[in-house]
Structure 1
Amino acid sequence: MQRRKFIEQSLFGGAALLGTPELKNVEYARAFNMKFSPEFGIFKAASGDSLADQIRWGYDQGFRAWENTGLKSRPVSEQETISKTVQQLGMEFGQFVGTMTFEHVTFAGKDASAREAVLNDIRQSVEIAKRMNTKFVHNVLGMSDKKLPYDFQMANAIELLKRIAEIYEPHGIIMVMESMNHKTDHPGMFLHTIPQAYALAKAAGSPSIKVLFDFYHVQIEEGNLLKTLDYAYDEIAYYQLADNPGRTEPTTGEINYVNVLQHLYNKGYRGFMGLEHRTKKPGREGALAALEAYRAIDPKPL
């Protein structure tokens, strides 16, 4: 019996006897229209601790993609388990982080050793991307260099992005760079607005250098979500979400994700939508509430 059919039949049969709220999970067996891509931990209280079990549970609820920001730090055996599970289920794996620092100047500065360390991370990320059967690597641009004028920092970053493009292009890999807000979470980061990320992508001039649009960060730093998204759309290759305040699941804060995601879907976007957040409530109740939130905001087909 197919896995989905088994889940549906089990739920229908059990709910008829028990009359519990779990009956709502029947509809969750249908695939989402948006390619929501959970991170490990969000639904763990409902799915169990095992990495493979979290992915399988996600599939049963309608998710068809997965991502893991901290994948690079996992042993190769765990990476292989994740990749195998995702591919066996016919799912897709999205982004992982190739290089990241929240303390040091990397892209914005001129220090040769720091820049070479970034390039070493980039080379390593190629092999991980192949292992995961993904083309998306999320690279963090580090801290701003307070000793340098902004335009010099931009020039330094553009130069390094072009060198990264030379590494990624032959493999069809796309680096995505995320603007991170200064006001709440990451003061001092070099890349903190979408216009800045857009300018960097345009200057790099490569299909392997694109923008990651994180609704949570953009809402805090800039607002004006739909117009900002529309202007930068041609350079955006990946999206992530969380609500604000609190960085919890959609419907818990101020962002109208029903309108935002329908707008994006109507534009023709069918790529990854990474789920990068906490849950508002603890435990299983919080995990199932987050799951229900994704059904509530899933865009309607055209």
Structure 2
Amino acid sequence: MQRRSFLKNTLLTTGSFAAATAAFSQTTTNISKGQPFHLDYAPHDGMFAASGGRDFIDQIKYMHDLGFRSIEDNGMTGRPTEQQTKIGETLAKLGMRMGVFVVPKGGNGANTLAAKKKEHVDIFLDGCRKSVEVAKRCNAKWVTVVPGDFEKNLPLSIQTANVIEALRRGAEIFEPHGIVMVLEPLSDTPDLFLRYSTQTYEICKAVDSPSCKILYDAYHLQKNEGNLIKNLELCWDEIPYIQVGDNPGRKEPTTGEVNYKNVFKFLYEKGYRGVVGMEHGMSKSGKEGEDRLVQAYREVDSFV
């Protein structure tokens, strides 16, 4: 679940996609460089370091020039306070949105909300309080929460009740500030408590708060359950946030088995205008990889 490290590592990954790249070059459209996409795709720090520079502020400006209108930054809470503020000011000036960042220790293998241990819940609630202050600095509305692992010595229904109770307390912290914690089902390990969209839907209904919703990461959910469009439809009223990555490989769309053009067309026609987080690596490194990344998103965004 060290997703910031994952992104940094996978952004350097190389791959042999010469044929696919050649095919893309034949279908490139005449879209102007800075024209916004139909959906609001959000890159991460490092995705455009070769072209935009290593400084995240410079990358944000470069992303805007390419047509992106949001960013994500899982590790925002670990940045210096001054940088958080500067990122927020830069986004505001450019008319861009801040996507999710991860609530610090918002649930992990060593700190599971399913166990109903006071020390675990206290850590989670402290992370929620800290996240409110970070969100104010960078103009964030959504924060990611993962409830952690199963507590295998307890019945599943009891674990579920424990998670709901802890999340209600977290929602009480976020509600006055209009911040939404989005619960993310993951596929990283079978030890994780939260794995399915419908399971997350049930929990959100039980928490019954505008500050507790679903982060639908299509990469993880393609691995765990598939049937993406059908499950999006079933859970629609509890999904304010989307993330993507192709499978297998967790690289940009068009590198795996998911027909993202159809998925994005579904989102657009449903009226979704929220952030679509680009939570994945890249099939090629350097400027070549960055160019291919933009080309891939232009391709799958051409559903209109």
* 2:222 aligned with 1:219: yes
Q: Deviations over 1:103-161 (max 9, x none)?
A: 21421111101111110110111111111112111112111111111111100000011
Alpha-carbon distance in 2 for matches of 1:253, 1:71:
29
**TM-aligned CA deviation for residue 28 of structure 1:** 2.6
**TM-aligned CA deviation for residue 63 of structure 1:** 0.4
The more displaced of 37-46 and 101-110 is 101-110
CA RMSD after TM alignment: 1.6
| Structure 2 equivalent of residue 135 of structure 1 | 141
The TM-score, its normalising length taken from structure 1, stands at 0.88
The TM-score, its normalising length taken from structure 2, stands at 0.88
| Residue from 20, 27, 50 that aligns with 2:55 | 50
8 Å CA contact 1:83–1:133 kept in 2: the answer is yes
Alpha-carbon distance in 2 for matches of 1:45, 1:277:
17
8 Å CA contact 2:72–2:101 kept in 1: the answer is yes
| Structure 1 equivalent of residue 284 of structure 2 | 281
Q: Map 1:285-296 onto structure 2 (within 5 A).
A: 285-296=288-299
Alpha-carbon distance in 2 for matches of 1:233, 1:28:
32
Note the residue ranges of structure 1 that are not aligned, 5 or more in a row.
1-20
Percent identity of equivalent pairs: 45
Q: Map 1:201-216 onto structure 2 (within 5 A).
A: 201-216=204-219
**TM-aligned CA deviation for residue 25 of structure 1:** 8.5
8 Å CA contact 2:40–2:68 kept in 1: the answer is yes
Note the residue ranges of structure 2 that are not aligned, 5 or more in a row.
1-24
Letter in 2 for 1:171: H
SS at match of 1:263: helix
SS at match of 2:293: helix
| Residue from 127, 136, 157 that aligns with 2:163 | 157
| Structure 1 equivalent of residue 40 of structure 2 | 35
Flag the 1:26–1:199 CA change in 2: closer, same or farther, 3 A: closer
Alpha-carbon distance in 2 for matches of 1:237, 1:24:
30
* 2:260 aligned with 1:257: yes
8 Å CA contact 2:262–2:303 kept in 1: the answer is no
Q: Map 1:67-146 onto structure 2 (within 5 A).
A: 67-100=72-105, 101-146=107-152
* 2:67 aligned with 1:62: yes
SS at match of 1:99: coil
Letter in 1 for 2:87: I
Considering Cα pairs closer than 8 Å and 6+ residues apart, tell me whether 1 or 2 has the greater RCO: 2
8 Å CA contact 1:29–1:61 kept in 2: the answer is yes
Q: Deviations over 1:142-193 (max 9, x none)?
A: 1111111111110000001111111111111111010001xxx233111111
8 Å CA contact 1:265–1:299 kept in 2: the answer is no
Alpha-carbon distance in 2 for matches of 1:288, 1:151:
48
* 2:240 aligned with 1:234: no
Count of aligned pairs: 277
Alpha-carbon distance in 2 for matches of 1:264, 1:37:
15
Alpha-carbon distance in 2 for matches of 1:206, 1:50:
37
Alpha-carbon distance in 1 for matches of 2:104, 2:159:
18
**TM-aligned CA deviation for residue 27 of structure 1:** 2.1
